[in-house]
Structure 1
Amino acid sequence: MHREPVTQEPVDDNRYGLQGGQCQQHGLTLRSLHCKAESELYHTERRYLGYTRWVGSGDVAGYIEEHGTRVWEIPDSYSSFYEEFDRWCHRAHGTLTQYGYGISARAVEIALRAVAGKGRYTAADYDLVVCDDAPALLLGPTGTVLIKPHPINRPALDSQRAAQDVQVPGGTITVEEDQPEVLAGIERVAALFADHLDIEITGHQSPSRSGTSDHTFAVSEFTADGRTVSTLNIEASTLATVGELAQEPTAVPVHDGGVVDAYVGDDQYYADWDGPAEDATVGAVDEYGRLLVGWQFEWRSTSSRSPSRDQACVRTYFLRFKMGPTPEFQLDSQYTDLETTPVPDDAGRDG
């Protein structure tokens, strides 16, 4: 159970005030907060203040009924926030250099100061309602503050970490990741390694998510460059790419001809790709030792001076082993440019 939500103006005795303007989200009327004395802002305070919104009106009880996961107590004093409050993880996000998105102690502390005003507070007067699929709410006797998910470091509590089971050829491994395309990439890479490189992924090492977006895997030992390898790193973005690639040439939308949308705008074009060489199949190892992992239609830029993507192509993707201080597989690719023909306005347009 949680306390009855209150929506009203902030108390006057407060470090924070309301900015002009408001917006509607999730059926709630929200307003941004600002520090009344901008020169006194702490180093990271401005950033975390940006994750909070004052709830001016709306069906707060209905929001909690729909999205609320559980109610957390808050620490008894500001000085004990960082010892007693653990992060709430919404989802682990491998492509970040932090663990994922969630609610941090710093953001909750700022939300509490916005509701409680200056001085001491009574922890029993406040409830933090956390949600798996929506922003959290801090409920107090003088108001309600919404706290948006933001990048967080790895939670200390096991119960707050991601834990997804992924099927690999040798069984099941548990991975701290919530991005579907990354999870799909892990499953696909594990199968390719086992079938074509005789490397078995046997486990996943918990990431710190501090300054890195790598996933580290325990693997069956093999020797490379005179060294025994028992772990491999693969960037989350690489896994995400592999997880979304076409595994058969016929799954590429322009194989034997097809219509594709322009990279920018509403125009459509006809393009035709004959497919790869006969021996270029997923799992094949080329003359450079690269493992072919799939294909994708793309628009690429033809000029390093311009971000405009104006050339249609099919890109073939590979994983390439690199023996460095940390053994890893990196993404590599090569492209085949395609000729395109504009689709007339009165013919062939999609829907």
Structure 2
Amino acid sequence: MSTQSDHQSTVSFTTRHDLTFTPTEPPDDHRSFPRDTDIEGVACKQLSGYQTVQGRKRELSCSPGDGYWVVDDAKTVTNYVDEYGDAVWPIPETYTAFDGFERYLGEMDGAGRRYGYGIDATQLEKALRLLTGGGHYDHDAYTLVACGRKPFVLSGPEGVLLSRPGHIARPQDDSQCPERTVTGTRPRSDTEYELAVEEANPVVLDGIERFVETLDYVYNSPISSHTAAPHSTSSFHFFETEAETTVKVSAETLLTVGQLKTHHTDVSVYGGATVDAPHSSTSVDVEWTGPDQYVGDIHRGAPVVGYDVDWETRGGRRRSVLVVRTHRLVERDQLDTSLYVLRSQDQELGCVEHW
């Protein structure tokens, strides 16, 4: 006997949701879709440049990524939806009801400007007005198919439009928000731990793991729980310790920590390398023999957590300097929490003058 999930795996997304699509040529009016393009195998006409449409509250600026008018056949659209379709999302009955639109989260990303990528009321309204030309609409005649991080599908009597998801705030529906389990070993006690975190970006997850283990090893502050940053990079992740204290760290810091090299021999210029300078045809030969401090060492009262190498622009863009940075995780006491930030010590390896 097959289970429901087994049955659904053999039935296409469009069949399960009884979806049909009728692509048409783009309208011959003020909406301009002149450029031929291809979205995951679907032939489209892309919106020309930046255009404005009248929204329910203000004029809305539409970028080329907001409008791809599908000119392919219905079967191709069906195949796209079968491969990428994630949910048939409800469309508000009227424009005045858009304030209550439940955001769709396609992918949470702690490295983005906001909580993640998906569909909010503004993005849906832009797509709907591009498809319909504005004015009233019969919501029963339109279908919205959310496709994760891929462009969503908006279908109606006028035709089919693809539109890229954008940055959205955290959905009110907690069930949409991803929860991952970070596992590792507590360095002090050599015991395994599991921590439920609201995050999907693998680099940020790596940063959380290193942060948790650094606090345990250096600061003797085992972490017991985590609260996500609601607005991503510009906000903070909060952690509760087993001592019932709160610590916080920015999503940007976790993203950086997750990308650092933890062993000096993994840094690309260790032992010597030829590196291309930015905005130049010049290359420089450099050699880095290793750091003054190693990961886990305490330097200036804070632990070293990793290394990276990059070009820095100095002297009003007249000089590019290649540096290896040794990063420390520094604690700053605040009123009710401890804030952890990164501080780096730079070693200059070479420079290029721009004239």
Smaller-chain TM-score bracket: 0.7 to 0.9
Of 83, 88, 108, which residue of structure 2 is paired with 1:71? 88
- The answer as to 2:283 corresponding to 1:284 is no
Summarize the alignment of residues 182-201 of structure 1 with structure 2, pairs less than 5 Å apart. 182-201=204-223
Of 8, 20, 45, which residue of structure 2 is paired with 1:4? 20
Structure 1 unmatched ranges of 5 or more: 222-228, 342-351
Contact 2:50 2:61 in 1 (8 A): no
Contact 2:35 2:48 in 1 (8 A): no
Summarize the alignment of residues 1-351 of structure 1 with structure 2, pairs less than 5 Å apart. 1-9=17-25, 17-27=31-41, 28-32=43-47, 45-47=59-61, 51-58=65-72, 59-83=76-100, 85-117=101-133, 119-168=135-184, 169=186, 171-209=193-231, 212-221=234-243, 230-265=245-280, 267-277=282-292, 280-286=293-299, 288-303=300-315, 305-306=316-317, 310-325=320-335, 326-339=337-350
Q: SS at 1:155's partner residue?
A: coil
Deviation digits for residues 302-341 of structure 1 (CA, Å, limit 9, x no counterpart): 32x21x6622221101111111344210110011112489
Could you tell me the percent identity over the aligned residues?
Answer: 30
Contact 2:67 2:130 in 1 (8 A): no
Contact 1:33 1:50 in 2 (8 A): yes
Matched residues in 2 for 1:73 and 1:39: separation?
A: 22
Q: SS at 2:60's partner residue?
A: helix
1:113 to partner: Cα distance: 3.2
Task: Output the amino acid matched with 2:309.
Answer: F
1:110 to partner: Cα distance: 2.9
Moved more, 129-138 or 105-114: 105-114
Moved more, 263-272 or 58-67: 263-272
Q: SS at 2:225's partner residue?
A: strand
1:140 to partner: Cα distance: 1.2
Moved more, 206-215 or 60-69: 206-215
Task: Output the amino acid matched with 1:165.
Answer: T
1:208 to partner: Cα distance: 2.5
Contact 2:89 2:146 in 1 (8 A): yes
Task: Output the amino acid matched with 1:235.
Answer: S
Structure-2 residue corresponding to 1:348 = none
Structure-2 residue corresponding to 1:346 = none
> CA 1:49–1:81 in structure 2 vs 1: closer, same or farther (change >3 Å)?
farther
Task: Output the amino acid matched with 2:298.
Answer: V
Deviation digits for residues 59-112 of structure 1 (CA, Å, limit 9, x no counterpart): 3222212211222232323222332x3111122222445211111122213322
> CA 1:125–1:234 in structure 2 vs 1: closer, same or farther (change >3 Å)?
same
Moved more, 42-51 or 246-255: 42-51
> CA 1:246–1:313 in structure 2 vs 1: closer, same or farther (change >3 Å)?
same
1:292 to partner: Cα distance: 0.5
Contact 1:89 1:162 in 2 (8 A): no
Matched residues in 2 for 1:339 and 1:139: separation?
A: 56
Matched residues in 2 for 1:230 and 1:160: separation?
A: 29
> CA 1:31–1:2 in structure 2 vs 1: closer, same or farther (change >3 Å)?
farther
Structure-1 residue corresponding to 2:12 = none
Deviation digits for residues 11-44 of structure 1 (CA, Å, limit 9, x no counterpart): 68x9x722544433323313217999x6956666
Task: Output the amino acid matched with 2:45.
Answer: L
- What is the RMSD of the two structures over their aligned residues, measured on CA atoms? 3.0
Structure-1 residue corresponding to 2:8 = none
Deviation digits for residues 224-255 of structure 1 (CA, Å, limit 9, x no counterpart): xxxxx711121112111111111111111222
Matched residues in 1 for 2:253 and 2:176: separation?
A: 26
Answer 1 or 2: higher relative contact order, Cα 8 Å, separation at least 6: 1
Structure 2 unmatched ranges of 5 or more: 1-16, 187-191
Deviation digits for residues 103-145 of structure 1 (CA, Å, limit 9, x no counterpart): 1122213322333455543333221111124111111122112
> CA 1:39–1:174 in structure 2 vs 1: closer, same or farther (change >3 Å)?
closer
Q: SS at 2:150's partner residue?
A: coil
Task: Output the amino acid matched with 1:125.
Answer: A
Aligned length: 325
Matched residues in 2 for 1:309 and 1:202: separation?
A: 46
Moved more, 138-147 or 266-275: 266-275
Q: SS at 1:301's partner residue?
A: strand
Contact 1:73 1:123 in 2 (8 A): no
Contact 1:263 1:309 in 2 (8 A): no
